[in-house]
Chains A and B, each alone.
Chain A
């Protein structure tokens, strides 16, 4: 801490304390004020000590505020550079249009990884996600949230398959697919585990994968995540809280 290292103020404080603690020579043995040219009375010494202490406290608070400002500036710089590179993906949406993370800058994003041949978990999570989006939409004045569904099964989930799948959940739900490499890149960016299981006679298989809904803020930064145990109400409340607290690193 800045003030602790500078010796000057401490010497000054020590000298002042010595002065204030001198036995004072008041006349009648009461404490109120000394003679006109005599030692300063108790009240005077208390007043001066108080002012001196206040001055020191003010200087310390000012130095601390300056340090916090510097730290905040550095943090914003780090956030800006992270926002550009972190969690990027290069995929194709269910209308065939290429998409990357920057396309969603300025929007809150709810992102889920799954596959269209999923027996129960993905439909349930996407229903939950659609429910969250509808609740947030119902709130006036709030920005529209963008729901994204990325496939972990690019071999079967082509653009057409994604289109058929997502439109049954929510009109704004955007399906994203791509080559195996592109999906792998996106999975790495979000630390998503996925592994295709063994095929049966119909060449059908189930993809084991982590089940998480990610929240990205309008700067494109990962902000929160929601597991299968979180309800629609809990996720909605959490997103609202983040929206209320958000301050862009780019403003």
Chain B
């Protein structure tokens, strides 16, 4: 399969951004964004969808981490 052209990449990124915007507005409730999800899935190669899903998870985790929501464990001397 040939790689996506620049135009196809931009369509895919636009669909991804729309989907992520919907998730942001609905506190990551995927059931509210099914329409955007299906546009996203039809605009991007399978591998890219998996990659972007993982990327979103990572970005969300990073947000929480930087907001200090993960406390270091008390016991640090015994490892």
Contacts and interface: CB of A to CB of B under 8 A. Distances in A.
B2 interface: yes
Contacts, number: 39
Contact of B45 (A161, A164, A165, A202): A202
Contact of A156 (B3, B44, B51): B3
A159 B50 CA distance: 28
Interface string B41-79: 000111110111000000000000000000000000000
A161 B2 CA distance: 7
A116 B45 CA distance: 13
Contacts of A203: 1
A123 B9 contact: yes
A196 B51 CA distance: 14
Interface of B is mostly: helix
B6 A204 contact: no
Interface residues of A, number: 18
A168 B46 contact: no
B6 A161 contact: no
- Of B13, B48, B52, most buried by chain A (CB within 10 Å of CB) is B48
Given A123-B9, A206-B51, A116 B3 contact: yes
Interface of A: 116-117, 119-120, 123, 156-157, 161, 164-165, 168, 200-206
Interface of B: 1-6, 9, 13, 44-48, 50-52
Closest 8 CB pairs of A and B: A116-B3, A168-B6, A204-B47, A119-B48, A117-B3, A119-B51, A200-B46, A206-B47
